[in-house]
């Protein structure tokens, strides 16, 4: 009987430890990487030529962030991964009209893709969760209504840069809420 209790306690301790180890990257590196991406986004603003202000015709999806803030840890992680993947897809589009250094965009993409990959590993077997369609449609509208309709102009990219910064800041808030959830 005592062996069974000891075995059960050992199993519980090991499974708890392994689940926390799988997201150790989240606890230690996510914020650091996010700060790097925000710095790169700010550098892009400094390198932008004087552009005219463009009205954003695609409203920020605050309601989606509000919904996911009440969700499970796995759903928050999956949502954050999707944000990072969608941001990466945007910045892989033609940005030749923007006055940014190619190396800055490459660094941004490398860090964002690394974050998405590491967070996906934190989700584990739940990583094949269905993506949030509304979030995907929001990013498609950014791509179509801002970038494509404005010919991937410097002004359009400045809108995308600002929207991306807002998403990265909100992703940081989501990640911070996960620290209290562990």
Considering the segment(s) 19-179 as one domain, its CATH architecture is Up-down Bundle (1.20)
Question: pLDDT tens digits for 88-130?
Answer: 999 999 999 988 888 999 999 999 999 999 888 887 655 456 6
Q: The dihedral of CA 47, 52, 56, 57: what is its sign? A: negative
Mean pLDDT, residues 29-45: 86
Q: Give the residue among 133, 136, 87 at the shortest CA–CA distance from 113.
A: 87
Answer yes or no: are the C-beta atoms of 90 and 143 closer than 8 Å.
yes
| pTM > 0.75: yes or no | yes
């Amino acid at each position: 009987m005592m062996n069974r209790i000891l075995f059960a306690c050992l199993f519980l301790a090991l499974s708890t430890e392994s689940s926390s180890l799988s997201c150790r990257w989240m606890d230690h590196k996510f914020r650091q990487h996010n700060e790097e991406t925000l710095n790169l986004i700010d550098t892009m603003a400094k390198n932008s030529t004087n552009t005219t202000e463009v009205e954003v015709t695609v409203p920020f999806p605050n309601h989606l962030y509000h919904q996911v803030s009440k969700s499970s840890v796995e759903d928050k992680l999956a949502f954050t991964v999707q944000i990072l993947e969608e941001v990466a897809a945007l910045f892989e589009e033609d940005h030749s009209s923007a006055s940014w250094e190619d190396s800055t965009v490459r660094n941004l993409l490398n860090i964002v893709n690394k974050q998405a990959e590491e967070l996906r590993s934190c989700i584990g077997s739940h990583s094949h969760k269905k993506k949030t369609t509304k979030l995907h449609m929001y990013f498609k509208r950014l791509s179509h209504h801002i970038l494509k309709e404005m010919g991937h102009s410097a002004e359009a990219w400045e809108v995308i840069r600002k929207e991306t910064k807002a998403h990265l800041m909100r992703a940081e808030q989501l990640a911070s809420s996960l620290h209290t959830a562990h």
